[in-house]
Amino acid sequence: MDGLSQRITDAVHGQTQPTLTVLSSLLAVEDELGYIPKEAVAEVATFTDTTVNDVWAVASFYPNFRFEPPCEHKIELCWGSTCHLVGAMPVINAALEASGLSDEGDTPDGKLSVRLNTCLGACAQAPVISIDHHLIGRVSPEQVRRKVTELLEG
């Protein structure tokens, strides 16, 4: 068994909660690897006694799952109502410009994944972004541009 398969098996079989499902298994794999490789879909299907089709159905429904290895860093930009009202669009624009992307996605060098998020949960500090799961509130477009540049150069 290669390293990837071993990690998938460990993640799926290492779940400790009583209710084990397709979704919980996929979340366990994503926590471990940061994405859902093809091998994991088969493993989850076997583990939950379902089919590869069933597993894909669930994996493709929830947009938090990605199917390619993650980038080195991840920046999430909130576009929820509150953030929208107090300046999310210029912040998103700045992040995209600085990363050379025209829409959400990954930079070609694999350094940075730029994603929009419907709500990061810190609305009182809007506009909010998160970099590698660390929230930053009351951001300005300039600040975001600087952060993105640092991540791409670092």
Contacts with another protein by CB under 8 A lie at 17-19, 21-27, 48, 57-58, 60-65, 78-86, 89-90, 92-93, 96, 103-105, 115-116, 118-126, 128, 133-138
**DSSP structure class, residue 129:** E
At closest approach, how far in Å is the CB of 98 from another protein?
14
For residue 117, how many C-alpha atoms fall within 13 Å in the half-sphere facing its CB? 23
At closest approach, how far in Å is the CB of 23 from another protein?
4
At closest approach, how far in Å is the CB of 2 from another protein?
27
**Locus of tokens 């597993």:** 55
CA angle 151, 59, 19 (to 5 degrees): 110
DSSP letters of 10-30? HHHHT--SS---HHHHHHHHH
Question: Residue 6 or 57: which CB sits closer to another protein?
Answer: 57
Question: Residue 21 or 46: which CB sits closer to another protein?
Answer: 21
At closest approach, how far in Å is the CB of 143 from another protein?
12
CB neighbour list of residue 99: distance below 8 Å, 6 or more residues apart:
75, 107, 112, 114, 148, 152
Question: Residue 23 or 42: which CB sits closer to another protein?
Answer: 23
Question: Residue 18 or 154: which CB sits closer to another protein?
Answer: 18
For residue 76, what are the CA distances in angstroms to 3, 34, 41, 50, 52? 29, 15, 26, 33, 30
Question: Residue 62 or 146: which CB sits closer to another protein?
Answer: 62
At closest approach, how far in Å is the CB of 140 from another protein?
14
